[in-house]
Amino acid sequence: MNEQAIRELVAWMKIILLTALIILVFRQFLFEPVSVHGRSMMPTFEEDDKVLLVKISPIENFDLIVFKAPEGKNFIKRVIGIPGDRLKMEEDQLYLNGRKMEEPYLKENREWAKEQGYPQLTTEFGEFTVPTGYYFVLGDNRLNSVDSRTIGFIQRDAVLGEVKYRISPLRHFGRVE
């Protein structure tokens, strides 16, 4: 091999290594693709939807997050309460810090529940405060969701990231609200 070919090979190896390093850093610290499994977030997300997590986003009320559940699985849920929030569910109405909250993402599930004869979508719970370092999460499909009502508060350290974009299926590609 001549000297020119070796230099060119080394240059290509550097580019490939740098590209791999950049991808690794982005995936480890900034973004991560995740598949949705289960029906607890329907109709917001369906089985096998692919989403992109942002790992550096501050978590706020009603954000969609993926976290490591107690049994080691990744769950996707909606953050209802952040540290210090007072929450209460009364007559299928969410109260956050004493204010009645609208939950437009539940419209389809409420209609379905009513058609099926369920008196309410979300079981009532008395007022409580979300402790420091924890979140209270619920699935959008409240009649079929393992969430904070069953597994308790979610530790901040268990959160893998906030769901910002749906990347598959293509007909639903884009920013998630």
Which residues are known catalytic residues? 40, 77
Residues 6+ positions from 72 with CB-CB distance below 8 Å: none
Residue with tokens 């810090």: 97
CA–CA separation, 94 and 101 (whole Å): 6
What is the chain's length? 177
Bridge partners (DSSP) listed for residue 32: 53
* Helix H or strand E encompassing 23: helix 3-25
Residue 127: both structure tokens together: 């007022």
CA dihedral sign, ordered 2, 6, 11, 13: positive
Query: Is 12 within 8 Å of 124 (Cβ atoms)?
Result: no
